[in-house]
Copies of this chain bind each other. A is one copy, B any other.
């Protein structure tokens, strides 16, 4: 298969982890006779430094002509601490999601048996967790009208949803549930928000087309509690943009490190794959960033193109690295100095020699 992949490393640890994912994809291409080409582009804080904008036109063009985009991370404490900044790294990420129409963000949360003891949650609470969050990604309060009054004393953001925005992700989530445990939980705040009530209405309607899937509803405050009391109760969680942001980062605790969570962002014409973690500026250029989330995002990319065997090979490599403690410091207390690159190298080796790779 021929694939042209847009690569947007972004800020902080983005470039380091993305480099490992690219390395892994190259190994897959070589082993399985595919032709993957990579086009790098600027986004986020680095794009601001070089071009004055977080999402240069050239980046958009590269992404639009690519078959898929691999995204690193964006963000920089410099802007975080300055509420008056008008140009912000996040505009790069939100902008590309919007430009590519990536409405459906899929965030799997799987408790690895080898990592159960890394979590602040009890092993018995998290063992066998296997859920997936369907987060709406191009609507809601992330993209509603914002306003700051002239005198700077009043600020507002609008959370708006339209029926079709809910329908398209709901269908995707119900379909996912059909091939999983046939349970879908809609998370909203329908006891307060009009937009949540629209979600409830639309999802209830659509559920009639998926009578083999059990639908239930829960409020976001409840969900934030239930997710860590008993994550096994969930199969597919469907929710709007902001609630999905919050729940998925919270869910990283189940898995043991936010450095493990991958995601796929699907649109009608374009697809992008991104770790759910941020730029983590403090950790940049120290070789300590966990590349697994980025590598698993690459695996989701392979899934998307039906390259099942290839995706599985990557996942087996990840599993093996975890089993052998070939992991960065966020997960490791066995060896001291396994760097970002070493983890990538190990998984690359595994791809080439799945039966031989061991710690060396």
Contacts and interface: CB of A to CB of B under 8 A. Distances in A.
Contacts of A88: 191
A125 interface: yes
Interface in A256-303: 258, 278
B158 A198 contact: no
A190 interface: yes
Chain A residues touching B, range: 35 or more
A345 interface: no
B146 A201 contact: no
Given A225-B253, A250-B228, A80 B161 contact: no
A176 interface: no
B198 A225 contact: no
A52 interface: no
Nearest to A88: B191
Number of copies: 2
B146 A194 contact: yes
A246 B218 CA distance: 12
A163 interface: yes
B229 A120 contact: yes
A225 B201 contact: no
Interface string A216-238: 01001110110011100000000
A347 interface: no
Contacts of A50: none
A120 B228 contact: yes
Nearest 5 Cβ contacts at the A-B interface: A155-B198, A221-B249, A156-B160, A83-B197, A120-B125
